[in-house]
Structure 1
Amino acid sequence: MTPASPLALLGVLLLALGLFWPRGAGWGAWLYLGAALADALAKGPFSGPAQPALLLGGLLALRGETLWQRPWLAPLRRYLLLLSLLLGLFALKALPHPREGLSPWLALLHGGAFLVAYLALSVGVGAGVMCALQDLRLRRAPEKAVKGAPLWSLRRLERGYLRVGYLATTLGLGSGMAWAFGYFGNPLSLDPKEVSVLLGWLSLTLHFLLEERLRGLPRAGLLLLAYGLLLFAFLGAPFLASRHPSRLGF
């Protein structure tokens, strides 16, 4: 296996951090470009679809990093980073990988990351839904909001725990893709557990992308959708036809 695969995978993880940590976007972009170079040296320049995707994703992420100091362009920066993430996932699917077993360290990282993710998201989503409903009451019926929790306190809880949960989910998803990558030769498939985790992660990403615009019921609904998808991956998907080691039967 060429270094392109682990470099691209690490780049995806760092770009996810780049949504609220500027250095993550820069480091992820350079890892993308390094993965493209490694793949070009191994197979020749532009010998497959992964190299153009990594080059384009890396350049877009570098451009997005330069917009960090311009708050009024935050939606554009987040859009560029999300597009870079999708290009990185496409490149991971296009790169070849040998079959390997699940190492104990990767299993520990994968399980531990999702444990932290579920704990943090349980608090963060709950506080976020309460915050969205309190904001709705303040705008529609301020007299009813007096008995509720302070908005700033709920917002502080939401931001802190959601960020931790998002980072842990990204790490868990990335380590799971790395395992599927090496064992099945394909990091993405129509597996119920993989699809539900990926959709939950995308819903959380969308929440951060639209953070300044979402209010009230749409904000609460998006958070509940993301948490519901991740909870289904943990409690429901193992009973379905899954290739994951946690699958269960009746």
Structure 2
Amino acid sequence: MSPANLLALGGVVVLALGLFWPRVLHLGALLYLGAALADALAKGVFSGPAQPALLLGGLLALRGESLLQRPWLAPLRRYLLLLALLLGFFALKALSHPGGAHPLSLSLLHGGAFLVAYLALAVGVGAGVMCALQDLRLRRSPEKAVRSAPLWSLRRLERGYLRVGYLAATLGLGSGMAWAWGYFGSPLALDPKELSAFLGWLSLTFYFLLEERLRGLSRAGLLLLAYALLLFAFLGAPFLGSRHPSRLPF
């Protein structure tokens, strides 16, 4: 992996952390800008679409961080962060991707990260769905919600486990893209396993961005959709002709 690839990949992971800890947005922006500079030094200024994407994504992340002192503009900050993340993935797609074997540590990181993600999201999604249904009961029939688990307890479980699962999934997806550079020749291939994992991660990202506005069935539905896509990447995609190295032998 070239320095530009490593910096861009690090920027995507750090900006994903920025969903929960906005103070790290400046670090993600600096990684984006560093990746653009490294690519410019290696190939020339604006020699491809990756450099403008990284530059724009870094500036959007910096602008998003500048809105931290204005809590009423939190939706705008999250929107800018989503754009920066998508631009980062586009840049990773546009950068050159030298092939070659990857070290065992990368495979262990990739598999371990997704193992943690599946375990944490299983608890977080379950608690989140229960929380959404309990909230719906409290709004419609408060007397029926008395015997159910307290809303604050479910919410605490949901937040803790979903954050761990999302960050682990981001790390697994990023390391998987590094793996795909050598295996597919591109970090984002139209492979069932990789595509469903990316869509599951994107659904979780939308959930955190829209968390304050989601209620009831829409909240539970988005959570279940995200986890179903990630489970499909693990259990269903190998049967659809996935070229991923972990495909089943039958």
| TM-score interval, normalised by the smaller of the two chains | over 0.9
The alignment of Structure 1 onto Structure 2 pairs a total of residues equal to 250
The answer on 1:20 being equivalent to 2:20 is yes
Q: State the distance in 1 between where 2:56 and 2:24 align.
A: 17
Residue 182 of structure 1, CA deviation: 3.3
The C-alpha deviation readout for 1:188-221, integer Å capped at 9, x for no partner, is: 0110000110000000000000010001000000
AA at the equivalent of 1:162 = L
Match of 2:61 in 1: 61
Aligned ranges 1:144-223 → 2 under 5 Å: 144-223=144-223
Match of 1:128 in 2: 128
AA at the equivalent of 1:209 = L
Residue 73 of structure 1, CA deviation: 1.1
Aligned ranges 1:27-66 → 2 under 5 Å: 27-66=27-66
Answer whether contact 1:207 1:222 (CA < 8 A) is retained: yes
Q: State the distance in 2 between where 1:181 and 1:42 align.
A: 19
TM-score (norm 1): 0.97
Secondary structure at the counterpart of residue 25 of structure 1: helix
Q: State the distance in 1 between where 2:53 and 2:161 align.
A: 32
RMSD, aligned α-carbons: 1.0
Answer whether contact 1:240 1:248 (CA < 8 A) is retained: no
Question: Which residues of structure 1 form unaligned runs of 5+?
Answer: none
Answer whether contact 1:121 1:227 (CA < 8 A) is retained: yes
AA at the equivalent of 1:156 = R
Tell which deviates more after alignment, 73-82 or 212-221. Answer: 73-82
Q: State the distance in 2 between where 1:249 and 1:236 align.
A: 13
Q: State the distance in 1 between where 2:178 and 2:2 align.
A: 14
Match of 1:108 in 2: 108
Match of 1:245 in 2: 245
Residue 2 of structure 1, CA deviation: 3.6
TM-score (norm 2): 0.97
Residue 24 of structure 1, CA deviation: 2.7
Q: State the distance in 1 between where 2:65 and 2:54 align.
A: 16
Question: Which residues of structure 2 form unaligned runs of 5+?
Answer: none
Q: State the distance in 1 between where 2:42 and 2:204 align.
A: 36
